[in-house]
Amino acid sequence: MIANEGGESFSPIELRLQFPYPVSTHEVANLKDAVGFSFKPVGMTMTFQTLGGGQLSMNGRPVSSNYELRVSELKPEGQVEILLLLNSYRDPRGKPIPKGQEAFYSVPESGPTLTFIYGHFKYRVGAETIDQEYYAPLELGADETVTLGPPSPRPKGLRRVEGWEMEWPLGAPR
């Protein structure tokens, strides 16, 4: 949840969320006094071109572990709450783990440069506009619980990952 408990608006908020597992689904649980809200997967744009005719069929929906949160303005007392379901039945690249082979896959690496929330927001104090950077690592427990670590300065080696995989329907050929 992101909440503005101050007396000034945050405008804009732009955060990147990089999780240890792909996001299967998400739901906006509480959106209050937030203008221009969007929460979208990163790297999901595709362009296809055919020559001489052709057909393209997409079976399934893409999943990603990288999302971008944007809010044009979060007014005082405003908040954004998003519930996420992460898919731990996929490897760190998002590929499905074959049934019966779960023991061969370990909990994906996490750490300050691999799974995180990073971005910035702006707010006004009197006539001055302040641009504030925000970084917090996402930590993955042995029980596969994802928690938000304490905010801190951004690590120098911060790596952005972009990409996605297709979530094939059960029984469909791969």
Q: What is the pLDDT of residues 1-56, one digit of tens each?
A: 899 998 889 989 999 999 887 888 889 999 999 999 999 988 766 666 677 777 77
Q: Does the pLDDT of residue 123 top 60, yes or no? A: yes
Which tokens sit at 141?
């427990």
How many domains in the chain? 1
- The answer to the question of residue 52 being in a domain is no
- Give residue 87's domain range: 2-43+63-155
**Is 149 a residue whose pLDDT tops 80?**
yes
77 within some domain: yes
Task: Please indicate, yes or no, if residue 53 is contained in any of the structural domains.
Answer: no
Residue 42: CB atoms within 10 Å: 18
Tokens standing for residue 99? 């049934």
Looking from the CA of 111 toward its CB, the CA atoms found within 13 Å total 8
Structure tokens at 114: 């691999």
Is residue 57 assigned to a domain?
no
Task: Tell me the C-alpha distance between 173 and 6, whole Å.
Answer: 53
> DSSP label at 104?
G
pTM of the model: 0.74
Nearest to 35 by CA among 6, 84, 65, 71: 71
Is residue 120 included in any domain, yes or no?
yes
Residue 138 lies in a domain: yes
CB within 8 Å of 62: residues ≥ 6 apart: 41, 44, 164, 165, 166, 167
Residue 105 covered by a domain? yes
Q: Please tell me the distance from the alpha carbon of residue 169 to that of residue 63, in angstroms, as a whole number.
A: 13
Question: Residue 152 — pLDDT band, cuts 50, 70, 90?
Answer: very high
